[in-house]
């Protein structure tokens, strides 16, 4: 059972996506695991052939438990190689930094109405939508009666054989009308996530001497450029302005290495790679900040595709193990919620968090003239053990500079 | 496609993006963005899904014409003619 964060102690195998004899290669998704915070797709770190599955679906085991055995090329099946799905999520290519916590949170989450829904895995839900299965008629066989993918598929098969079902419309109501007495998986996650956020943020406030800086950024060039680019693109390739923000931060941080990396064991460890954590809020409250890898090296289109995919999967609760483990700096954009300024809380062991507020039209003086411009507040929360306000100010100014030349991003 | 089919498709794709949405309680005349707490990324993913399923190319400037469920149905039925 891989560790998907410093706070994770146990994980439940919701589903195996492979069976003994299947060939797998590094990066393949082999299982879906439920942690306190979310449902995570587990990627395999070793190519080979699945020899045997040790921990069955539905079982909860501590981090570090052998859950499956992978036979690498050349090995004989007989004495199963002790190559399990890795314990810490890092053995393949040892990164500079130690693995760190997954829990994310930078800002108090806006809590929503308590969810009321069937106990069902997100995967099963998607399958149910695809197969048009009426969930009110499905009997769950998973942990605590949760509906699994197999249950849904069985129901779909039975429905096919039976006379016509009122499919489509039935799905939503079935979910909505689930008896409130049944605690949903989402509620468990919600409670656990609050606990994880509390632990992480309390640690941040206790250990990290934060300093905060803010500056206004004129967004007129960036927005005009983006608009004209989007006009040329088909819908699937259009970008959101957040992508410009992410790329600007990633490029700027190259010149400010003291903002990119981890504070571990009383010293700063810089990371050459720029993996930007993106704070994504969940509707039912809480948030997760999975990373987009190597943002400084990717073209905008690719960052957009990554971001789009990430948000979709965070909200559908299908994150992958590698994404939640290794951000080197985090960006939070609260513009969507309508606030102009966000004072972030650093996500330990990272040392900096860049925040962006809403873009608002404001009077702006430039070259002796006053005009109305779209203006955004950029903020930095940084760890005073790793950097100082002077450098922090230059870092924010560098982000601003990149946003003034969007065509170069 | 009939309007009912369009409506079902819109809701189905919306639920893919926001699985907790309760189709029963959606007021078809109130902005979906507000009701379903959608951000710009959700809206974009949803537009892309609708485009993939219907083939309708929705320009950015037309997003405003798809604010409510009723708006969406009438916009798409027009474009599908």
Give per-residue pLDDT as tens, A334-383.
876 679 999 999 999 999 999 999 999 999 999 999 999 999 999 999 99
CATH no., domain A204-408: 3.30.559.10
ipTM of the complex: 0.78
Residue A64 confidence (pLDDT): 84
Bridge partner list, A42: A31
Model confidence band, residue B7 (pLDDT cutoffs 50, 70, 90): very high
Q: How many residues does chain A have?
A: 409
Q: In what order do the strands lie in the sheet with A68-71?
A: A23-24, A48-53, A68-71
Element (H, E) at A161: helix A149-161
A93-104 burial: b if 16+ Cβ within 10 Å, else e: eebebebbbbbb
Q: Which residue of B has its CA nearest to A234?
A: B57
Cβ pair A112:B37 closer than 8 A: yes
- Domain A1-94 belongs to what architecture? Beta Barrel (2.40)
Q: Is the CB of residue B7 less than 8 Å from the CB of residue B15? A: no
Residues of chain A contacting residue B12, judged by C-beta atoms under 8 Å apart:
129, 168
Q: How far apart are CA A167 and CA A254, in angstroms?
A: 53
Residue A136 confidence (pLDDT): 67
Q: How far apart are CA B17 and CA A97, in angstroms?
A: 34
Which of the residues A174, A236, A358 would you substitute to probe the B interface, choosing the one with the greatest number of B C-beta atoms within 10 Å?
A: A236
Bridge partner list, A70: A50
A265 annotated active-site: no
Q: How far apart are CA A63 and CA A1, in angstroms?
A: 5
Residues of chain A contacting residue B58, judged by C-beta atoms under 8 Å apart:
235
The CATH number linked to B41 is 1.10.1200.10
Cβ pair B19:A284 closer than 8 A: no
| Domain residue limits at B60 | 3-80
Model confidence band, residue B77 (pLDDT cutoffs 50, 70, 90): very high
Q: How far apart are CA A408 and CA B20, in angstroms?
A: 40
Closest residue to B57, CB basis, from A117, A176, A235:
A235
Domain boundaries, chain A: 1-94, 122-176, 204-408
pLDDT tens figures, A171-185: 333 333 333 333 344
**Which ranges of chain A have pLDDT less than 70?**
5-7, 73-119, 121-122, 125-126, 129-130, 132, 134, 136-137, 143-144, 159-188, 325, 336-337
Q: How far apart are CA A138 and CA A120, in angstroms?
A: 10
A384 annotated active-site: yes
Residues of chain B contacting residue A332, judged by C-beta atoms under 8 Å apart:
none
pLDDT tens figures, B23-64: 788 898 998 888 888 888 888 888 889 999 999 888 877 888
Residues of chain B contacting residue A125, judged by C-beta atoms under 8 Å apart:
19
pLDDT tens figures, A256-291: 999 999 999 999 999 999 999 999 888 777 888 899
How many CA atoms lie less than 13 Å away from A252 in the CB half-sphere? 27
Query: A166 and chain B: CB distance < 8 Å anywhere?
Result: no
How many CA atoms lie less than 13 Å away from B38 in the CB half-sphere? 24
């Amino acid at each position: 059972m891989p560790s998907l964060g410093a706070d994770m102690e146990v994980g439940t195998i919701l589903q195996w996506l492979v069976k003994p004899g299947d060939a797998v290669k590094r990066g393949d998704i082999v299982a879906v695991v439920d942690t306190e915070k979310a449902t995570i797709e587990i990627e395999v770190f070793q190519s080979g052939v699945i020899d045997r599955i040790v921990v069955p679906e539905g079982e909860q085991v501590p981090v570090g438990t052998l859950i499956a055995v992978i036979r690498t090329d050349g090995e004989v099946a007989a004495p199963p190689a002790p190559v399990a799905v890795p314990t810490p999520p890092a053995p393949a290519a040892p990164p500079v930094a130690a693995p760190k916590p997954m829990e994310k949170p930078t800002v108090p989450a806006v809590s929503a109405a308590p969810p009321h829904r069937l106990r069902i895995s997100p995967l099963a839900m998607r399958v149910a939508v695809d197969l048009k299965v009426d969930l009110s008629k499905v009997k769950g066989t998973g942990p605590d009666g949760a509906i699994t993918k197999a249950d849904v598929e069985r129901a779909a098969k039975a429905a096919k054989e039976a006379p016509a079902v009122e499919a489509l419309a039935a799905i939503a109501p079935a979910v909505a009308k689930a008896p409130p007495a049944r605690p949903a998986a989402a509620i468990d996650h919600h409670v656990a996530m609050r606990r994880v956020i509390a632990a992480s943020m309390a640690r941040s406030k206790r250990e990290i001497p934060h300093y905060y800086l803010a500056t206004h950024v004129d967004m007129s060039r960036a927005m005009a450029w983006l608009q004209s680019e989007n006009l040329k693109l088909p819908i699937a390739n259009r970008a959101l302005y957040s992508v410009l923000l992410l790329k600007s931060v990633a490029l700027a941080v190259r010149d400010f290495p003291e903002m990119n990396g981890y504070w571990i064991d009383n010293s700063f460890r810089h990371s050459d790679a720029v993996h930007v954590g993106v704070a994504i809020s969940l509707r039912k409250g809480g948030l997760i900040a999975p990373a987009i890898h190597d943002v400084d090296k990717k073209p905008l289109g690719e960052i957009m595709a990554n971001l789009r995919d990430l948000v979709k999967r965070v909200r559908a609760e299908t994150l992958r193990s590698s994404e939640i483990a290794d951000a080197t700096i985090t960006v939070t954009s609260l513009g969507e919620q309508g606030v102009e300024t966000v004072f972030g809380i650093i996500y330990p062991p990272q040392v900096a968090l860049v925040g962006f507020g809403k873009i608002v039209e404001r009077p702006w003086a430039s070259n002796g003239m006053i005009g109305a411009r779209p203006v955004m507040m950029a903020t930095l929360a940084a760890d005073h053990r790793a950097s100082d306000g002077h450098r922090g100010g230059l870092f924010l100014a560098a982000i601003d500079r990149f946003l003034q030349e969007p065509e170069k991003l | 496609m009939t309007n009912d089919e369009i409506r079902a498709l819109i809701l189905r794709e919306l639920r893919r993006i926001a699985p907790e949405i309760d189709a029963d309680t959606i007021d078809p005349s109130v902005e979906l963005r507000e009701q379903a707490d959608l951000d710009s990324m959700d809206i974009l993913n949803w537009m892309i899904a609708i485009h993939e399923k219907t083939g309708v190319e929705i320009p950015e400037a037309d997003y405003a014409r798809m604010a409510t469920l009723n708006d969406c149905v009438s916009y798409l039925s027009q474009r599908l003619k």
